[in-house]
Amino acid sequence: MKGGAVFIGDVAKDEYYAMDAYPALGTKADARQLPSMMGGSIANAASVYASYGCETRFLGHLNNRDRELTDYLRERCGIDTALTIYDDSLADSKCLIFLAEGEHTVFMVDTGENDLNLPEDTFEALCEAPLIYTSHWVLGRVRCGEISNVGVLRRLRERGVRVVMDIDVDIVNEARRPLMPYIDILFMNKVGFAAQRAGRGEAETIGELFGMGVGMVVVTLAENGCKIYLREGAISIPGIKVDVVDVTGAGDTFCGSFSLMYLRTGDPALAGTFANCAAALSVAALGARSGAVGAAPVLEFMRSRGVDTTPYEAALAG
């Protein structure tokens, strides 16, 4: 394998607004504008991953007006953005985030991206990566010339690349089923998992996902921690109580941290504990990149909560 992990997906400018209460449809409410920050779910996870001192690459699909976003990733986060594809037919990449009553509501601007056609040299770079972290949206539209999205995934599997997919609040529907045999880790949050269950039992739902070919399912449960589903059983990691400032990006912090620790150790319990602590630390500050603090603060936080950090220090040193 050559180079670092590749994160494929969105980077955006996050425009923040604070509200006393979120309004009902058809009403008006005052909002206080807060400083804008760089965001985008995949870029957030990439920033967290890079903050641990790991070689990290980002492949976005943006217009040239948004080069400030990739400049930020390169100059401030140490992420290699050379793989990014620019297309001026796309709209500006940004999100509107409203903070109210301890929660956040996010409006994501549709950039008009319908197709991600990888140049052959870019595809070859992906085939040499140890890990690819992306979303269901990307995998639904990626191709390389005449090679379909499933063909791209099949080639990656043949080359030994691990593929991680964050589906967030969405579900694995029939259209996404063909992708699942090539997904090593599927991340979902509690909202997405509840939608996936659709009233069915937990075991039935997980069995269905494994039947599609998914390697591992990790469900984040916010303040209640996470649950990791393996074919041989499940691992529950309890939540960590903290004073919450902003939960934006907490899931990205979790998933980026889990991906690194699992890649380094192959131990899902270690990865889950580390990611849980990293995410808990991130919600104590404002901004989607609040989790990109590096290893030292996370390890210190873990020690303050009575966690033996010896195996984590060894993994991060590698």
258-287 pLDDT, tens digit each: 999 999 999 999 999 999 999 999 998 776
CB burial of residue 151 (10 Å; 0-12, 13-18, 19+): middle
CATH number at residue 187: 3.40.1190.20
The CA distances from residue 125 to 82, 121, 250, in Å, are 11, 6, 29
* Cβ pair 1, 130 in contact under 8 A: yes
Structure-block tokens of residue 158 = 């043949």
Pick the closest to residue 147 from 177, 126, 175, 117 (CA basis).
Answer: 117
pLDDT band for 228, please (50, 70, 90 cuts).
very high
Structure-block tokens of residue 132 = 């690819």
The CA distances from residue 282 to 206, 278, 301, in Å, are 29, 6, 11
46-67 pLDDT, tens digit each: 999 999 999 999 999 999 999 9
169-214 pLDDT, tens digit each: 999 999 999 999 999 999 999 999 999 999 999 999 999 999 999 9
Residues 6+ apart with CB under 8 A from 234: 206, 227, 228
Is the pTM higher than 0.75? yes
- pLDDT at 288 (0 to 100): 63
Count of domains forming the chain:
1
Supply the range of the domain harboring residue 284: 5-22+31-317
* 110 DSSP 8-state letter: -
* Cβ pair 270, 311 in contact under 8 A: yes
- pLDDT at 1 (0 to 100): 58
Q: Looking at the predicted structure, is the pLDDT value of residue 108 above 90?
A: no
